[in-house]
Amino acid sequence: MRTPLFTLILSAIAAALYLSFRFIDNDYLFFAGYVVLQYVVIATAWNVLGGYCGYVNFGSAGFFAIGVYSTIFFYNIGQSPGDVFPEFLLGPMQWIFPLPLPVLILLGGVFAGLVGLGMGYLTLRLRGVFFAIATLALAVVLETFIVNWPFVGGSRGAYVIPPEKIAVFGTFIQYLFVLMLILAVGSLVAARLVERSRLGVGFATIRDDELAAEASGVPTLRLKLVATVLSGALFGMAGAPFPFYIGYVEPGSAFNLSYAVNAIAMPMIGGTTSWIGPMVGALILSTLQQVVTVTISSAVNLLITGLLLIGFVILAPNGLVGLWQGWTARRNKS
């Protein structure tokens, strides 16, 4: 399927989803749907580096939080431009701030992408478990940095007060939901595009054998940097609207372990070799978590994720997509 057609179909599905939610007219659906879609973006972001290139990133929460705190930073500037800018700049700045949410999302993506570039440059000479440890350390360093930065709230946290109503969409949560829906569609299209391009072939050679890749002319370091930037930017964009969703952010929630765990678990459960896997994993696992939160308890969330992850790693290391491919291959043979 060509990319424009694929984009069109995915957008149609997304539009149908939004309209059916609107028809049901229950804000809870938008609240829960936002989180599920956020995890579709997060799982896809992780998979660009972890699934395509084989570099396991444990620092997902750090990249997500960069998006979150980029929004807090610009939101705080917008709250009181007079404290931040000198007199002569105040006029134009009051015209620019407060920044609209789509711009904040792009900014979150830019910052997280830049940090991804820096991290890639520093750590991509490390292999396997050492790379994973370095990414984990990066998240800790970032959290320490945020905790000690009073302008974005430090350890006290920061409030973001979303407007109650918004034009066209009605409630603000519907607006957030639609933005996240667009992001999810965009990241899936991007992941699929990468997968089928020369870039995707290069990523796969890095995952399989870096020495052989270099010998075949693949510029492995440059491609890995592309992957860390793309992955980081998607994480950042997933995190940027979060303060508006949650209303109050503190480092403990922005850098929460659940982001790092889910970012790994969802692609692993869905399957890491194609764009479908992270999407399926995120949809199933995140929906399950939402249901469990309401019906049983919010504390059971990560337990379920952990148990499913262990089960899949042992029983179906290639995830649901791998199971499906195995099943169709067997059926074709017989």
Partner 1 sequence: MSQIMGEPVTETFDDVAEPLLAIDQLGKRFGGFVALDTVDLSVPAGQRLGLIGPNGSGKSTLVNCISGTLQNETGSVMFGGRRVDGLPAHQRARLGLARSFQLPRPFRSMTVAENIRVPLIYTVGARHGVHLTSSELEDRCLEVLSLVALQDKAKKSPLDLTQVEMRKLELARAMAAEPKLLIADESMAGLSHSEVEDIVALLIRMNQRGVTIIMIEHIMRAVMAFSQRLVVLVSGRKIADGAPDEVIKDKDVVGAYLGT
Residues that bind partner 1 (CB under 8 A): 198, 201-202, 204-205, 207-209, 211-221, 273
Q: Which is nearer to partner 1, 101 or 124 (CB)?
A: 124
Quote the least distance from Cβ 137 to partner 1, whole Å. 27
Quote the least distance from Cβ 324 to partner 1, whole Å. 17
Quote the least distance from Cβ 2 to partner 1, whole Å. 13
Q: Burial level of 199, CB count in 10 A (0-12/13-18/19+)?
A: middle
Quote the least distance from Cβ 97 to partner 1, whole Å. 45
Nearest to 182 by CA among 20, 7, 61: 7
Taking phi over 0 as left and psi of -120 to 50 as alpha, with beta for the rest, 54 belongs to left
Contact 203, 219 (CB under 8 A): no
3-state secondary structure of 101: helix
Q: Which is nearer to partner 1, 166 or 221 (CB)?
A: 221
**How many CB atoms are located within 10 Å of the residue 230 CB?**
22
Q: Which is nearer to partner 1, 49 or 115 (CB)?
A: 49
Quote the least distance from Cβ 56 to partner 1, whole Å. 16
Q: Which is nearer to partner 1, 53 or 68 (CB)?
A: 53
What is the per-residue burial (b if ≥16 Cβ within 10 Å, else e) of 124-136?
beeeeeebbebbb
Say how far residue 47 (Cα) sits from the centre of its chain. Answer: 10
Quote the least distance from Cβ 127 to partner 1, whole Å. 15
Q: Which is nearer to partner 1, 274 or 305 (CB)?
A: 274
Contact 77, 204 (CB under 8 A): no
Q: Which is nearer to partner 1, 208 or 313 (CB)?
A: 208
Q: Which is nearer to partner 1, 295 or 332 (CB)?
A: 332
The size of the chain, in residues, is 334
Concatenate the DSSP letters of all residues of 279-318 into one string. Answer: HHHHHHHHHHHHHHHHHT-TTHHHHHHHHHHHHHHHH-TT
Quote the least distance from Cβ 60 to partner 1, whole Å. 23
Secondary structure letter of residue 227 according to DSSP: H
